[in-house]
Amino acid sequence: MKHNHLMLGTLAICGAIFLAPLPAIAHEHAEGPELRGTQSLDVYSDGATLHLLRAEFDENSRASQLLYQRSADGGKNWSAPVRVDSGLAPAKNPRRGADPQIAATGENLVAVWTTAGSGFGEAGPMAVALSSDGGKNWQAGPNPADDRSTQGHGYIDVAADAHGVFHLVWLDNRDGKQGLRYARSADDGWHWSKNVTLDPETCECCWNTLLTAPNDGVFVLYRDKNPRDMALTASEDGGESWLRTGSVGSFHWHFPNCPESGAGLGFTLRPNGTETLHALVRTGKAGSAGIYYQSSTDGGRYWSAPRELAPGVSDHPDLAADASGNVIAAWDALDGDDLAIMATVSHDGGRTWSHASRLSKSGVNASHPRAVATSGGLRVFWTYAAKDRVSHWASGTCDK
């Protein structure tokens, strides 16, 4: 049975909007029966199919249920929800910014999340669920972390490449400092490689963005420690070796705390078959605070000058691109009394951008956009809550 409930958000035509500097936005990390609805959301596109994983709380539950759905028509219709974590350790405090993650190649899917343990906030090791039949059935897979720690393994991202290899990154403190770790699996998640430390010291709790690209490229965009700018590490051989290419937006933002904000990364193809990387980052540096776009044509070694797309305390940026040169950038920001999802598009590989437009409907607080390229175009997903505090998910697009 197909469900036609994707179009809960508004479909927006890009129009002009001006954002003033905004006050800081508080984040709530509560867990318990007071939470209801969709508390986390991840969307993964493998070309023809969209894969959605969300953590749902009902009114009687202290633990979430992880539910999977798929769409074969760019998000117009969705399959019935399937429970992913039955019989497995539940996700510990799933929330936006620490969302359980999903990736797919063909009929093989990998879902990964953080469980309870002995780490900060009672965070613990990763749990993995695997499906070989397109998400109809799920079973437990092994923990990709090889440190055997019960402390927190979190801020996960997972992606599959053109060869069907799954790549995974996360943060843990196995060396006494929070660092960025990597593993890969060539057999659909049943075995994982020896872990590699990509950066021994990073920001404590900003999420990571993992991108696979043609020509065996694998890229990880993450927030560094000091300064708290976004950094890129890259592999040109499918994860066999890595090179930290430098900062994406060298703002030199020195900040004593975790900003709880990641970044967006995508690619478009040039006529010669190589890729242009596109990044959307946020800085809170005084005098420069905002959301910035940059591009690179050499695998992330050199980046264009930062272009401001949204000023002030606009937050939680994400970006998606398709092979034709279309790019969508999204973030959340205060608009009147609401926290709203904003987006802008480029149809020429990032050279020019439309005016920013609001995608989320009025009267609700929406946050943490997730941008993906679908078979029907570029689309943004988000979660929102009204006055009853029940969280929902929605999506929309900015088509001009």
* pLDDT tens string 310-346: 998 899 999 999 988 999 999 999 998 899 999 999 9
d(CA 19, CA 342): 10
Structure confidence at residue 8 (pLDDT): 33
d(CA 259, CA 202): 12
| 389 pLDDT tier (thresholds 50, 70, 90) | confident
| 23 pLDDT tier (thresholds 50, 70, 90) | very low
Structure confidence at residue 350 (pLDDT): 95
- Pick from 67, 122, 113: which is nearest to 94 by CA? 113
Q: Tell me the pLDDT tens digit for each residue of 174-200.
A: 999 999 999 999 999 999 999 999 999
pLDDT (average), residues 238-262: 92
* Stretch (H or E) spanning 333: strand 327-335
| 84 pLDDT tier (thresholds 50, 70, 90) | very high
Q: What is the pTM of this model?
A: 0.90
Tell me the one-letter amino acid at 190: W
- Pick from 283, 294, 366, 371: which is nearest to 332 by CA? 366
Structure confidence at residue 120 (pLDDT): 86
Structure confidence at residue 400 (pLDDT): 56
Specify the pairing of strand 290-296 against strand 275-283.
antiparallel
Tell me the one-letter amino acid at 150: T
Structure confidence at residue 5 (pLDDT): 31
- For 271, residues 6+ apart whose C-beta sits below 8 A from its C-beta are none
- For 269, residues 6+ apart whose C-beta sits below 8 A from its C-beta are 214, 275, 276, 323
Structure confidence at residue 36 (pLDDT): 87
d(CA 181, CA 18): 39
Q: Which residue has the higher pLDDT, 282 or 270?
A: 282
Fold of 40-396: Neuraminidase (2.120.10)
Tell whether the model's pLDDT for residue 29 goes beyond 50.
no
pLDDT (average), residues 56-73: 89
172: alpha, beta or left, given left = phi > 0 and alpha = psi -120 to 50?
Answer: beta
pLDDT (average), residues 257-277: 88
What DSSP letter does each residue of 182-198 carry, written as one string? EEEESSTTSS-PPPEEE
Q: Of how many residues is the chain composed?
A: 400
- Pick from 220, 352, 206, 225: which is nearest to 293 by CA? 352
Contact predicate 206/259, CB 8 Å: yes
d(CA 252, CA 320): 26
d(CA 95, CA 30): 9
Retrieve residue 243's tokens.
């090179």
Q: Where are the domains of the chain?
A: 40-396
pLDDT averaged over the chain?
89
CA-based torsion, 98, 177, 288, 293: positive or negative: negative
- Pick from 348, 331, 371: which is nearest to 276 by CA? 348
- Pick from 308, 151, 282: which is nearest to 221 by CA? 282
Structure confidence at residue 35 (pLDDT): 72
Q: Tell me the pLDDT tens digit for each residue of 207-235.
A: 999 999 988 999 999 999 999 999 999 99
d(CA 49, CA 65): 23
Which residues on adjacent β-strands are paired with residue 111? 102, 129
Share of the chain above pLDDT 70, in %: 91
DSSP symbol at 98: B
